[in-house]
Amino acid sequence: MALSDSKVSIVISQGSLEGIYPGLIMANGARAEGMEANLFFTFFGLDAIHAKRHEHIKLATVGNPGLHFATWAGGIPGVSTLMTHYMERKMDALEIPPIPEFVELISDTGAGLYACQASVDLFGLVKDDFIEQVDSIITVGEFYEMADGGHIIFT
Amino acid sequence: MPTTTIAEVAVEVTDDGFFVDPDQWTEDMAPILAAEAEIPELTDRHWQVIRFMRDEYFAKGTGPTVRMLGKTSGVSVKELYQLFPMGPAKTAALLAGIPKPRGCI
């Protein structure tokens, strides 16, 4: 039970499927261990909590050497959508929830969800653009105050 | 593996306190384990989760994760964390005398 005293603050900075899931899994896992957890969404990571975009997160098929196929092939129209569906089916079989459901689950565990003020300003967004589970839009200084005394993980 | 005494019975546990043999568990051990986990009183809702953990373990060979508990135990994820603030699946497994669930989600 030693982990119960610890705290983790996880930054999600990317808007791709593979850029978002690791941070969500780490936040959910931290709460499951009884740790305090906060998620901070910045730059394209904001798509994970954007009410109109979070259902349409795609796998990056261009510039992603981990997929092991040619960049030109990844750029063909529809390939990203196809690969995303393929990955989503595999994840569903493993009981990994889709991003909208996963974010809601993490909020239900008591983890905090925060949007980055600078990115919100940059993209011209407002609080109403985000899902209702988002606690607030905070500055980097407020993030550090919240993270104080715990670990910070940047993804 | 260390041995500890719960309700006057010698029980083999892992370093983090999980039962090695779930058959060594009896219901009167749960309140004692709960007190150690800083849960002062076990309500009917706690018991619903504890019994569900054991049923799942004996049916499937592993206890459910928090997400599965939320979907199938009849207790929501929010309430699970109210009942077991230090981690529902982990704490309920500890009180239910089963190994720690190993799922990632």
Chain B nearest-CA residue for A95: B105
| ipTM score of complex | 0.92
A12-52 pLDDT tens trace:
999 999 999 999 999 999 999 999 999 999 999 999 999 99
Q: Give the β-pairing of A136-138 and A112-116.
A: parallel
Find, among B64, B68, B59, the residue nearest to B92 by Cα.
B64
Q: pLDDT value at position A2? A: 52
CATH of the domain at A133: 3.40.1260.10
A18-28 pLDDT tens trace:
999 999 999 99
Split at pLDDT 50, 70, 90, the class of B103 is confident
B22-41 pLDDT tens trace:
999 999 999 999 999 999 99
Q: Look up the CATH number of domain B3-96.
A: 1.10.10.370
- Measured between beta carbons, the chain B residues lying within 8 angstroms of A108 are 70, 76-78, 81
| Contact assignment for B81 to A96 by CB distance below 8 Å | no
Say which of A29, A95, A109 has its CB closest to residue B81. Answer: A109
Mean pLDDT of chain A: 94
Asked whether residue A50 is assigned to any structural domain, the reply reads: yes
Split at pLDDT 50, 70, 90, the class of A1 is very low
**Contact of A60 with A18, CB cutoff 8 Å:** yes
Is residue A127 over pLDDT 90? yes
Q: In 3-state terms, what secondary structure has residue A71?
A: helix
Q: pLDDT value at position A125? A: 97
| Contact assignment for B105 to A28 by CB distance below 8 Å | yes
Q: Give the Cβ contact number of residue A140 at 10 Å.
A: 12
Is residue A4 over pLDDT 70? no
CA distances from A37 to A30, A78, A92, B86, B97 (A): 6, 36, 25, 12, 27
Asked whether residue A32 is assigned to any structural domain, the reply reads: yes
Q: pLDDT value at position B37? A: 92
- The sheet with strand A36-41 has its strands ordered as A136-138, A112-116, A36-41, A7-12, A151-154
**Contact of A63 with A75, CB cutoff 8 Å:** no
Mutate to test the interface with B, among A1, A24, A91 (most CBs of B within 10 A): A1
Asked whether residue A1 is assigned to any structural domain, the reply reads: no
> Cα–Cα distance between B77 and A83 in angstroms, integer?
31
Asked whether residue A65 is assigned to any structural domain, the reply reads: yes
Q: pLDDT value at position A3? A: 65
| Contact assignment for B105 to A31 by CB distance below 8 Å | no
- Catalytic residue list contains B104: yes
Task: Please tell me the total count of domains within chain A.
Answer: 1
